[in-house]
Amino acid sequence: MDVSGDGSGMADAREFEVGIGIGTVRGLRFGEEGGRRVLALHGWLDNAASFVPLAPLLSGLDLVALDLPGHGRSAHQPAGTDYTFVSAVHQVLDVADALGWTHFALLGHSMGAGIASLLAASMPERVERLVAIEALGGLPETVEQTVPRLREAIASARGLGTRPLRVFPDLDAPVRARMRVNALSEPVARLLVERGVRPVDGGHVWCSDPRLTIPTAMRMTGEQVDALVAGIECPTRVIYAEPAQPYLPEPDRSRRARLLPDGDLVVLPGGHHLHMEQPGDVAAAIGDFLLR
Q: Phi/psi class of residue 137: alpha, beta or left (left: φ > 0; alpha: ψ in -120 to 50)?
A: left
Cα distances from 34 to residues 62, 99, 104, 189, 257, in angstroms, run 7, 12, 12, 32, 31
SS3 of residue 289 by DSSP: helix
**pLDDT of 210 higher than 90:** yes
- Residue 192 domain-assigned (yes or no): no
Largest CA distance in the chain: 53
What is the structure's pLDDT at 7?
Answer: 34
DSSP 141: -
Q: How far, in whole angstroms, is CA 279 from its chain's centroid?
A: 16
Whether residue 241 contacts residue 271, with contact meaning beta carbons closer than 8 Å, is answered with yes
Range of the domain at 79: 14-141+218-291
**pLDDT of 211 higher than 70:** yes
Note the pLDDT tens digit of each residue in 10-62. 348 999 999 999 999 999 999 988 999 999 999 999 999 999 999 999 999 99
- Residue 127 domain-assigned (yes or no): yes
The H-or-E segment that residue 85 falls in is: helix 85-99
CATH of the domain at 26: 3.40.50.1820
Number of H helices, E strands in the chain: 9, 10
Span 213-227, mean pLDDT?
A: 97
**pLDDT of 9 higher than 70:** no
Higher-scoring residue by pLDDT: 227, 80: 227
Note the pLDDT tens digit of each residue in 56-99. 999 999 999 999 999 999 999 999 999 999 999 999 999 999 99
Annotated catalytic residue, options 4, 74, 110, 117: 110
What is the structure's pLDDT at 227?
Answer: 98
- Residue 8 domain-assigned (yes or no): no
- Using the CB atoms, write b or e for 244-263: b if 16+ within 10 Å: beeebeeeebeebbebbeeb
Q: How would you class 207 by CB atoms within 10 Å of its CB: exposed for 0-12, middle for 13-18, buried for 19 or more? A: buried
**pLDDT of 137 higher than 70:** yes
- Residue 173 domain-assigned (yes or no): no
Tell me the pLDDT of the chain averaged across its residues.
Answer: 94
What is the structure's pLDDT at 285?
Answer: 98
**pLDDT of 272 higher than 90:** yes
Task: Count how many domains the chain has.
Answer: 1
Catalytic annotation present for 122 = no
Span 250-277, mean pLDDT?
A: 98
For residue 3, name the pLDDT band (cuts at 50, 70, 90): very low
What is the structure's pLDDT at 12?
Answer: 80
- Residue 153 domain-assigned (yes or no): no
Q: How far, in whole angstroms, is CA 97 from its chain's centroid?
A: 19
- Residue 183 domain-assigned (yes or no): no
For residue 177, name the pLDDT band (cuts at 50, 70, 90): very high
Report how far residue 50's alpha carbon sits from residue 248's, in angstroms, rounded to the nearest whole number: 20
- Residue 133 domain-assigned (yes or no): yes
Report how far residue 266's alpha carbon sits from residue 286's, in angstroms, rounded to the nearest whole number: 9
Report how far residue 268's alpha carbon sits from residue 84's, in angstroms, rounded to the nearest whole number: 30
What is the structure's pLDDT at 73?
Answer: 98
Question: For a pLDDT cut of 70, what percent of the chain falls above it?
Answer: 96
Note the pLDDT tens digit of each residue in 146-174. 999 999 999 999 998 777 889 999 999 99
pTM over 0.85: yes
Whether residue 217 contacts residue 150, with contact meaning beta carbons closer than 8 Å, is answered with yes
**pLDDT of 217 higher than 70:** yes
**pLDDT of 2 higher than 70:** no
What is the structure's pLDDT at 164?
Answer: 84
What is the structure's pLDDT at 163?
Answer: 75
First and final C-alpha spacing in the chain: 33
Residue type, 185: S
Span 236-263, mean pLDDT?
A: 97
- Residue 83 domain-assigned (yes or no): yes
